[in-house]
Structure 1
Amino acid sequence: MPPPNLPPLPPPPPFFWGETPEEQYYASQGVRNSKTHFQTPYNTKIFTQSWLPLDQNQPIKGSIFMTHGYGSDSNWCFQKICIAYAKWGYAVFAADLIGHGGSDGLHGYIGDMDKAAATSLSYFVSVRKSDEYKDLPAFLFGESMGGLITMLMYFQSDHDTWTGLIFSSPLFVTPEAMTPSKLHLTMYGLLFGLADTWAAMPDARMVAKAIRDVEKLKIIAVNPKRYTGKPRVGTMREVVRVTNYVQNNFEKVKIPFLVAHGTSDGLACHSGSEMLYEKALTAKEDKALKLYEGYYHSLIQGEPDDAVELVLADMKAWIDEKTKKFGPK
């Protein structure tokens, strides 16, 4: 069962970890961070960040390009994932989706997921093809709805762009309670797009269904940039469209991938991850499905510490093995 409803929460701290200055905190984690805005080819700017090992002389194993989930952003608890990979010796890059965090767009609205994917992809590819990283293994990482959009990025990419894919609780199949009714979508569709940005879809209290650790839920809930309104019509329309699309195109996946999912996920059915594993044409030895019994949706940000350590250990073992196997060009 999801955690109980939370009492009124205090104002958020400056950072998810508290009040320690950013540079000091990152140094304590063994990483360095940078932030910038990237001008995309689509007349939009997106907020981007990078995390690299603190020791600038440490060889970089590969690059990871990460995409957060619905209503989230790269500047709060999602950083836990980014920092972990950077501590393992990878160069990590993340971009806030359009309509999220520090990127352009109406808050909480993604009216065209193909364009949202292409927008983030334009930044990721610019880094991936740079002299510093072009010869290193490169992976796309997506969490929740970010996993769905990451799959679109893979479909939009040249065949030799990425070494592998990593998915954490990807939104490939929505639970029945989370799926917008055809009646709602048809009714709003009759307004010829006028309702597309309306925050009018039923709200199923997403955050409470994502986090098993109540103390971590309190931290995530006070993210000042988290979208807390009802789902917007266009965003949910796109979720329905794109989940159907990727389910019918899993056989196009031919590169190594790891998909991790909790069996008690209330926001994204683990059956979607199982479907990907079964249908993808990736060589059997290069694809992996990790199901975690009783885990909720947010495997790294919202589970108890011992559970998080298990998930991260599995991810590290997989990416280190694939990086060694496929190595620098």
Structure 2
Amino acid sequence: MPPPPNLPPLPPPPPFFWGDTPEHQFYTSQNIRHSSSHFQTPHATIFTQSWLPLSPTQPIKATVFMTHGYGSDSSWCFQKICIAFAQWGYAVFAADLIGHGRSDGLHGYIGDMDKAAATSLCYFCSVRKSDEYKDLPAFLFGESMGGAITMLMYLQSEVNMWSGLMLSSPLFVLPQAMVPSKLHLTMYGLLFGLADTWAAMPENRMVAKAIKDVEKLKIIAVNPKRYTGKPRVGTMREVVRVTTYLQNNFHKVTAPFFVAHGTSDGLACHSGSEMLYEKAATPAEDKTLKLYEGMYHSLIQGEPDDCVALVLADMKAWIDEKAQKFGPQSNGN
């Protein structure tokens, strides 16, 4: 989404969110190893990345598979989360969603979220089941719309495939101001799919409710691979369908989970996270809901540093405890 209109003119983007430092030099300075590649699935070719502790002899606590949000990708500020987990001793893997970043598809278009979930899941499972990682605990992590798609992945997966779920500001309930008009969706639907890819849906500029720190907003806004057009018809149709579907299927969730949400989130209602917590069949001792008073949508990339540190500390405490509790273990095959 484009930045609020009151932002000053933005400078040309640097090569990376951290500036001009070469990738290898930057990752080494963060004590991690990084790699990227393209992965062929039955649906599309997707761009994938990994972040691991710098020392190849350091024991890996667990694997974490991360999914970014709408219009974003895994290569800009989202990887701040990936880097943090790798620094804690986890092997982290991420993929750009279909229609996002460097993956196949029309930019900003997800006309079938079940397919999008299955595509990323294909890559995640190939790593999860590999000889190197099959005996370690494995967690799915999703942010914003990526949280909804992560939940779809979980529901598509084999029983006991995942040791737990971690969700940051998941999109389970749309704010009323962002719910697309049924009239618009019906009118476009009458065009027999011809309008599905149109960037024609009304846009409520609520990014100011996503990023609290203005300096961080400036960095996010110059991401060269961020989708900045109006929402595409099919993407919004799927958001409406999938959020309703997930609300009706939260009772099927039995895995441990951690969900973090700001109470001033203007892009994804925290009531959706509360609904998951209430309806999930996960044992009470294995589910955690953290509501952060006054925080906006982007908890790691967009809040002041002290708030970011608080959220990351809560995430680390939860995954460290669960990784120790559940691993090493097989994936149930």
- TM-score, length-scaled by structure 1: 0.98
Kindly state the Cα deviation for residue 219 of structure 1 after the two structures are TM-superposed.
0.1
Q: How well do the aligned residues superpose, as a CA RMSD in angstroms?
A: 1.0
Paired position in structure 2 for 1:11: 12
1:208 Cα deviation after fit = 2.6
Q: How does 1:192-207 map to 2 (within 5 A)?
A: 192-207=192-207
Which residue identity lines up with residue 240 of structure 1 in the other structure?
V
Partners of 2:15 and 2:205 in 1: CA distance? 25
8 Å contact kept, 1:3–1:212: no
Measured in 1, the distance between the counterparts of 2:171 and 2:130 equals: 30
Q: 1:40 to 1:206 in 2, by over 3 A?
A: farther
One-letter amino acid of the counterpart of residue 21, structure 1: P
Deviating more after overlay: 266-275 vs 178-187:
178-187
Q: Name the CA distance, whole Å, in 2 between partners of 1:301 and 1:111.
A: 27
Aligned residue in 2 for 1:321: 321
- What is the 5 A alignment of 1:158-173? 158-173=158-173
> How far is 1:205 from its partner?
2.0
What is the distance in 2 between the residues matched to 1:5 and 1:24?
35
Deviations 1:50-84 (A, max 9, x none): 00000111000000000000000000000100000
Secondary structure of 1:224's aligned partner: coil
| CA deviation map 1:168-213 (0-9, x unaligned) | 0000000011110111101100111000000000112243321000
Residues 62-121 of structure 1, C-alpha deviation per residue, up to 9 Å, x if partnerless? 000000000000000001000000000000000000000000000000000000000000
Residue type at the aligned position of 1:24? Q
Q: Distance in 1 between matches of 2:106 and 2:209?
A: 25
Q: Kindly report structure 1 stretches of 4+ aligned residues shifted beyond 3 Å.
A: none
- AA partner of residue 23 (structure 2): E
Matched residue type, 1:265: D
Q: Unmatched 5+ residue regions in structure 1? A: none
How big is each residue's C-alpha offset from its partner over 1:113-137, in whole Å with a ceiling of 9 and x where there is no partner? 0000000000000000000000000
CA-to-aligned-CA distance 1:251-271 (integer Å, 9 cap, x gap): 000010000000000000000
Structure 2 gap ranges (5+): none
Measure the CA separation in 2 of the matches of 1:125 and 1:212: 35
Describe the superposition over 1:243-298 as per-residue Cα deviations: whole angstroms up to 9, x where unpaired.
00000000000010000000000000000000000000000000000000000000
Matched, 1:284 2:284: yes
Verify the 8 A CA contact 1:137 1:162 in the aligned structure 2.
yes
CA distance in structure 2 between the aligned counterparts of 1:157 and 1:70, rounded to whole angstroms: 22
Question: Contact conserved, 2:36 with 2:48, CA < 8 A, in 1?
Answer: yes
Aligned-partner Cα distance in 2 for 1:5–1:51: 36
Aligned to 1:47: 47
Q: Secondary structure of 2:39's match?
A: strand
Q: Secondary structure at the match of 1:259?
A: strand
For 1:302 and 1:56, locate their aligned partners in 2 and report how far apart those are by CA, in whole Å.
32
Distance in 1, Cα, partners of 2:205 & 2:147: 20
State whether residues 212 and 296 of structure 2, in contact with CA within 8 Å, keep that contact through their aligned partners in structure 1: yes
SS at match of 1:230: coil
CA-to-aligned-CA distance 1:136-187 (integer Å, 9 cap, x gap):
0000000000000000000000011000000000000000111101111011
**In the TM superposition, what are the counterparts of 1:63-142 in structure 2 within 5 Å?**
63-142=63-142
Check whether the contact 2:139–2:162 (CA below 8 A) recurs between aligned residues. Answer: yes
1:24 corresponding residue in structure 2: 25
Quick one: percent identity of the two aligned structures?
Answer: 83
Structure 2 counterpart of 1:280, one-letter code = A
Change (3 A) 1:206 1:49: farther
